[in-house]
Chain A
Amino acid sequence: MTALDLQALLPLVLTTATAIAVMIAVTITRRHGLAAWLCAAGLAAAIASIASARECAPRHISDLLVIDSFARFYSGLILAGSLVVAVLSYGYLKLRTDRHEEYYILLPLAAVGSLVIVCSANLLAFLLGLELLSICLFALIAYRRTGRGDLEAAVKYLILAGASSAFAVFGAALIYADRGSLAFGPPGLALSSPVALAGIAALLVGVGFKLALVPFHFWTPDVYQGAPAPIAGFIATVSKGAVFALALRYLSTENLLADGRIIWLLTAIAAASMLAGNLLALRQDNVKRMLAYSSIAHVGYLLIALLASASLGRPAAAIYLTAYFLASLGAFGVVGALSQPTRDADALADYRGLAWRRPFLAFTLTAMLLSLAGLPLTAGFVGKLSLVFSGVSSALWLLLSALVLGSVISIFYYLRLLAALFATPPASEPAISSPNTPWPTTAALLFLTVALLAIGLWPAPLLDLIQKMAVAAW
C-alpha cells in the first residue's frame, strides 16, 4: 500500500472515518446537530478528496478494488447523494424520534457499502459492499419505529434482500467454480459453460433485486412507503446508482453482451420494467408509492444505456443517473419537508393547492417532476435525450418504443400530481399543517433545483466532465 494507493482510497477512508467519528462523538455527547454536522462535513471532505485527486490512471488496490476515473465519477455521485440525504434527514429527524444520532453512523456506512460496490474489481468486494449496504438499510428503513409501516417495510426488505443476496452469492460461487477466480475479466467469461451461465443468471437476480427491475420489483412500493422519506430517496438513488455502475462495469469487462441470450433477457427485463413501472404508477394516489413505481421505470430506461454501444451508452448512463439523482432526491426531499411528525405526507390530497401555501416547495417539486418526466429545460430532458441518442445509434428499436410509450404514460401521473399542486386549495383546513422547513432542507432543495435547471439549460460542463471521467476505458 503506497501513498498513492492511500490517496486513491481517500474517499472510502474518509467516509469510513466519518462513521467512526460520529460513533465516538455520540458516546461522548448525544447531540443531533453535532452528529449531523459531523456526518455532512465528513461526506463533504470525501467529495473534496475525489475532486482534488488529479491522477486518472486506474489503480488496483489488492485484488479487490480498482480506482479509476469511472469509479471516481460514480463515487462522487454517491457521496453527493448521501450528503444531500444527510442534510435532508436533519430536518426530517428533528421532528421525530428522540434518538437521532445513530442514524448518522448508519448513513455513511451505507455510503461506504455503495462506494465499495462501485470500486469493486472482484465479485467478493461486490458482495461485501452489497451486504454492508443492505444491512445499514434494514436499520435505516426501520429507524423511526413509530408505526407499523416502517417495521413491516424493513422486514420485507430484510427477507427479500436476503433471498436475493443468496442468489448473488450462489452465482458468485458458480462463477468461481467455473473459472477459479472471483476477479472480473478480462479475459471475459467462457459463455459456453453452463455453470458460468447459471452463475450469471443468479447474479442477475441479485442485481435485478437491488435495481428493482421486473420481476424483482415487488418490494419497492411497500418499502418506499414505509421508509422515512430521505431514506426512500437514498434507496432510489444511491443504492441503485451504485449497483447500476457495477452492472455497467461487469457487463463490459466480462464482455457479456457477446451472448444473445443475455441481450435478449436484458431487453425483456428493461421493456417490462418501463411498462410495468409506469402502468403501476398510473393512478397511484400515494405519492411515495408513485415515486417508487416511477423509479422502476427509470431504471428500465437506464438499461438502454447498458445495452447500447459503450461510446455513447456510458456517457448517457452517467448523465441520466445524475439527472435522476437530482430529481428523485428533490422529490423525496419535498415529501420529507412536508411530512408531519406522525406520518409522511404521501397522500395526493396533501398536495392539493400546495403552490398557494408553500410556493417554494411546490416550485421545487414542479421542477423535479418535470425533470422526471423528461421535459426540456431540465436535466431530465438532457438525460433522456442522450439515452435515446445512444439507443438510436445502436438500433435498439424495441426498447426505444417502450421508452416512448412509457414516457407518454408517465406524463399522465406526473402531471396529475402537478395539477394537484396548482389546484385551488380546499376551503377547509388543509389535510396536514406542515411544519416550517428548516434552513438546511431549504438549502439542499435549492441546490438540487438550481443544479437541475442549470444542467437543463447549459449541459456542456457536465457533459465534458462525463466525457472525461465516466467513459474511460478499463
Chain B
Amino acid sequence: MTELWLIPALPLAGFLLLLIGPSLGRRASSLIGAGSVGASFLVCLFTAWSFAGKPITQTLWHWFTVSNLSVDVALRVDQLSLVMILVVTGVGFLIHLYSLGYMAGDDAFSRFLAYMDLFVAFMLTLVLGDTLLTLFVGWEGVGLCSYLLIGFWYRDPSNGRAARKAFLVTRVGDTAFTIALFILATKFHTLNIEAILTACQAWPVGSALAVTVAGLLLGGALGKSAQLPLQVWLPDAMAGPTPVSALIHAATMVTAGAYLIARMFPLFQLAPDVLQLVAAIGASTLVLAGLSACVQRDIKRVLAYSTISQIGYMFLALGVGAPSAAMFHLVTHAFFKALLFLGAGAVIHALGNQQDLFKMGGLRKALPATFWTFLIGSAALVALPPTGGFASKDLILELTWASAPGARWLWAMGVFGAFLTAYYTARMFALAFFGPPHSHVHHKPGPVMIVPLILLAAGSLLTAALDWPGPLGGAPFFSHFLAPLFPVSDAHEVSASLASILQASSLASALAGIVTATLAFRRFSPSVSPDRPSPLVRFLLSGCGFDSLYNLLFIRPFLFLTRLNRNDILDSFYTALAWVAGLFHRGLSRSQTGQVRWYAFALALGAVILLAVMVLL
C-alpha cells in the first residue's frame, strides 16, 4: 500500500468541499463530513491489512533546502503510527457520526463538520509525519482546529476566552518544541525522525544535549497533553461542543504529547533524568487531576479532569520505560473516554443543555441505552475487569512496580489514583443515573447517536483482548506488535504471584472508591449540599488553584508592565513618524495645483537642475 497520502488527504478534501458552506445542504454536508473520515478509515484498515511489519515511507514532495538542511514532506507508517491512524480514523468516524445527530439543530452545521474534518486531516498528518517538521505541521494544525472548535459558539465571549486560553497555554509548550527542532536541525542537518533517532545514539547517556532536547520535547508534550504544569487549559476547553471534547480533548489530540514521547523514545532513553521527570509529572498529574474531578459539578469538567488524570497514567508508563503500555492505555482510553463524553453529550442533549450533575439524576429509566453504554464506559474508566481499561491500567501499574525499586511510590500514587478514579466515576454515575430526577428529559437521542455509543462500548470491552494479563489467561498481542519499536525487556517481567497481588490491590482500591462514592451519593439530593463549599472543595474545584497562581505569577506582572508602558516610548516614535508623514503629505499636496503652467515650470526647473549637475559639477 503506497497510497498513504490518501489517509490525510480524504478528510482534507472533505474540509475543502465543506468550505462551500451552508448552501450544500445538510444531507450533502453530513455525507461529506462523516463520509470522508469513514473513507479514510477504510484506507487505514487496508493499510493495516497489507502491513507486513516493515515500515512504509512515502515521500510526497521535496519541501525546501536551506544551506545543509533539506526537508521532505513524507509520510511513514510503522507499528506506532498504524495504531494511531486506526484510533484516529476509527474513533473519529464514530464521533463524526454521532455529531450528525448532536449538531443537527445547529445553524453552523457545515462549518462544524468542516473544522472536524480539518482536525482529522491534521491529526493524521501529525501521526504519519516522517519528519519532525511534518509532524509539527500537524501538531500546530490540530492546535488551530482545537482553537476553532473550542470557540465554535463564538457568540458567547467566554467560549472565545476558553479557546484563546487553550491556544496560548499550549503555545508555551510549542515554543519549547520549536527550540528542540532548531537544536536537532543544527546538530544533525536533518529533521527525519529515523535519522535523528539513529544519529543521536552517538550521544552518551545523560549527556547535556540529550537532556536538553528531551526536556524541550517534553515541554511540548506537556502543553499538548495538558500535564502539570500546563494542564490549566483543558477544563476550560470543555466550552466546545461535546463531540469536540470527545474527539479532540479526550481521544486524539491531547494524547499527541504521549505519542510524541513514544515516537522519540530512543532519544528519551538517553536522558534518564528526563524520563524520571516524565514519570513524576505523570504521577502527580494523575493524583491532582483526580482530586479535582471528585468535586466538580459540571459533568464535562469531571470528564476533563479525568482525561488529564488518565493521560497522567500514560506519562507515568512512558516515564518508567514502558511506552507500549502507554500506547495501550492511549488506545483503550480513546475508546472509553470518547464513549463517556458522547454519553455525557447524550445526557446533556436530552436535558436541554443541562451540564450540572446536581440537576440530573434518575436517568437510568429515561435513557436506557445511554445508561448501559455509560455503565460500560465507567467500568472501563474505573478499570474493572473485563474492560480494556482494566487491562491497560493494570499493565501500567505492574510495570511501574517492576521498573525500579525506587518507583514504588509512583506505583502507590497510581493506586491512589485508581481509588480517586473509582470515586469520581461512581459519583458522576450515581448523580446522573440514580436518585430522584431533577430535570425533565426533552428528547431522547436518535439511532445516529446511539449506534456510535454501542460501537464504542463494544470497543471499550474488546480492546481488553489486545493485551489481556497473562496470569488471567491472556496474551500480550499489543506489546508484541509494538516490540520492533519498543523491545520488551526482561527486567519488566513480573512473577505471576506478584502480579496477582498488584492486581488485587489496585482492584481493592477501585472497589473502595466505588463503595465510598455510592455510600455518599446514593441518596443524594441537591438540597443537602451546602450552598457555600468548604475551602478545600473550592480549592479542588478550581483545579488546585493553578489559575490563580498563574494569574499572580504571570498575568498580573505582565499587565502591570503593560500599564507602566501604556504611553510607550517606542510608540511615540511611530506617532511622530505618522505626524511628520502627515505634515509632508499636506505640504506636498499643495504642490499638486492642477495648473499646467506650474507643472511645466517644475519640469523646466528639474531640467535646469539636471543640466547644471551634469555640466557644471
Contact = CB atoms under 8 A, between A and B. Distances in A.
Nearest to B609: A215
A260 to B, nearest CB: 9
Interface in A395-412: 408-409, 412
B596 A261 contact: no
B591 to A, nearest CB: 7
Interface stretch (A70-78, A216-224, A432-440): A216-224
Contacts of A443: none
Contacts of A215: 602-603, 605-606, 609
B611 A201 contact: yes
A95 B402 CA distance: 86
A454 interface: no
Interface in B558-617: 577-578, 581-582, 584-585, 588-589, 591-592, 594, 596, 598-600, 602-607, 609-611, 613-615, 617
A30 interface: no
A392 interface: no
A194 interface: yes
Q: Which of A160, A164, A215 has the most CB of B within 10 A?
A: A215
Contacts of B611: 198, 201-202
B602 A218 contact: yes
Interface string A193-205: 0100110111011
A405 B604 CA distance: 29
Contacts of B606: 205, 208, 215-216
A92 interface: no
A209 B603 CA distance: 8
A198 B609 CA distance: 11
A280 B588 contact: yes
B46 to A, nearest CB: 33
A117 B609 CA distance: 26
Contacts of A169: none
Given A164-B603, A205-B607, A279-B581, A197 B598 contact: no
A280 B592 contact: yes
Interface in A178-232: 194, 197-198, 200-202, 204-205, 208-209, 215-216, 218-219, 221-222
A265 interface: yes
B585 A283 contact: yes
A201 B615 contact: yes
A276 B594 CA distance: 17
A48 to B, nearest CB: 32
A264 B610 CA distance: 11
A472 interface: no
Contact of A282 (B581, B594, B596, B599): B581
A219 B599 contact: yes
A300 B592 CA distance: 19
Contact of A160 (B577, B588, B596): B596
Interface string A275-289: 110011011000000
Contacts of A221: 592
Contacts of A222: 592, 594
Contacts of B605: 215
B73 to A, nearest CB: 15
B594 A261 contact: no
A197 B611 CA distance: 8
A200 B613 CA distance: 11
Given A160-B603, A205-B606, A215-B606, A200 B581 contact: no
Interface residues of A, number: 36
Contacts of A261: 613-614, 617
A205 B611 CA distance: 9
A156 interface: yes
B592 A276 contact: no
B599 A218 contact: yes
Interface residues of B, number: 28
A279 B584 contact: yes
Interface in A136-183: 155-156, 159-160, 163-164, 167
Contacts of B604: 163
B613 A280 contact: no
B613 A264 contact: yes
Given A194-B615, A265-B613, A282-B585, A201 B607 contact: yes
Q: Which of B599, B604, B605, B609 has the most CB of A within 10 A?
A: B599
Nearest to A280: B588
B268 to A, nearest CB: 37
Contacts of B584: 275, 279
A238 B296 CA distance: 70
Contacts of B602: 215-216, 218
Nearest to A217: B602
Contacts of A216: 602-603, 606
Interface string A427-465: 000000000000000000000000000000000000000
B569 to A, nearest CB: 19
Contacts of B596: 155-156, 159-160
Contact of B603 (A163, A194, A200, A262): A163
Given A156-B596, A160-B596, A282-B581, A205 B603 contact: yes
Nearest to B591: A218
B614 A163 contact: no
A221 B73 CA distance: 49
A262 B611 CA distance: 11
Nearest to A215: B606
Nearest to B611: A201
A279 B588 contact: yes
Contacts of A262: 614
Given A205-B606, A221-B592, A283-B582, A160 B614 contact: no
B615 A280 contact: no
Interface in A11-49: none
Contacts of A264: 613
A467 B606 CA distance: 36
Nearest to A191: B614
A156 B592 CA distance: 13
B615 to A, nearest CB: 5
A265 B610 contact: yes
Contact of A198 (B589, B594, B615, B617): B615
Contacts of B594: 222
A282 B582 contact: yes
Contacts of A202: 607, 610-611
Contacts of A201: 607, 610-611, 613-615
Nearest to A197: B614
Contacts of A218: 591-592, 598-599, 602-603
Contacts of A156: 596, 599
B589 A409 contact: no
Interface in A241-291: 261-262, 264-265, 275-276, 279-280, 282-283
Given A201-B614, A279-B581, A279-B584, A160 B600 contact: yes
Interface string A45-78: 0000000000000000000000000000000000
Contacts of B614: 197-198, 200-201, 261-262, 265
Q: Which of B585, B602, B615 has the most CB of A within 10 A?
A: B585
A201 B603 CA distance: 13
A222 B594 CA distance: 7
A323 to B, nearest CB: 22
Closest 4 interchain pairs by CB? A215-B606, A201-B614, A218-B599, A282-B585
14 contacts: A160-B596, A164-B603, A198-B615, A201-B611, A218-B598, A219-B599, A221-B592, A262-B614, A275-B584, A280-B585, A280-B589, A280-B592, A282-B581, A412-B578
Given A198-B615, A205-B606, A216-B606, 20 more contacts: A155-B596, A163-B600, A164-B603, A201-B610, A201-B613, A201-B614, A202-B610, A202-B611, A204-B610, A205-B603, A208-B606, A261-B613, A261-B617, A262-B614, A265-B613, A276-B588, A280-B588, A280-B589, A282-B581, A409-B581
Interface of A: 155-156, 159-160, 163-164, 167, 194, 197-198, 200-202, 204-205, 208-209, 215-216, 218-219, 221-222, 261-262, 264-265, 275-276, 279-280, 282-283, 408-409, 412
